[in-house]
Amino acid sequence: MDEFNINNYIGGSSSSVLSTTTNKPGEGTYVNKYGATTKRTGGYIQDIDCTVLSGDKTATFSDMTLVKCTADGGDSGGIVYTYISKYNTRLTVGVVYGYPEKMGKNYLIYSKADNVLKALNLKRY
């Protein structure tokens, strides 16, 4: 039987612990992202209420956030967080959806953490 160690480490690093507290930063706020492909990148929020049409054009997602930040295929599902250096705290703000094809890989779109938790009836621990 395989054993698993569940933790809140960002990128597997015990020096980067993700807080279970969520946050809803506004436009102009700097956020960080950790994705499987581009790893750690960050940038400033451009829009906190954008709507996205899925790649196969069968679904529309609203109340998404647009960030000027490097992203690529494989980053979807990665964590988006803010860092408060005074408290060495990384607040959960969202989950990477992807990058907008028309704008390119210098932008990413994420689902707000509170919306994801509510939709899946989950709580952070």
Taking the domains of the chain in order of start, what are their residue ranges? Answer: 9-115
pLDDT of residue 29: 97
Is the CB of residue 22 less than 8 Å from the CB of residue 93? yes
| Res 48 pLDDT > 70 | yes
Is the CB of residue 92 less than 8 Å from the CB of residue 124? yes
Percent of the chain with pLDDT over 90: 69
pLDDT of residue 102: 76
Q: Which residues pair with 42 in a beta bridge?
A: 32
Q: Which CATH number fits domain 9-115: 1.20.120.1200, 3.40.980.10, 2.40.10.10, 1.10.3720.10?
A: 2.40.10.10
Give the Cα separation of 95 and 79 in Å (integer): 5
The β-bridge relationship of strands 89-98 and 108-112 is: antiparallel
Is the CB of residue 93 less than 8 Å from the CB of residue 113? yes
| Average of per-residue pLDDT values in the chain | 91
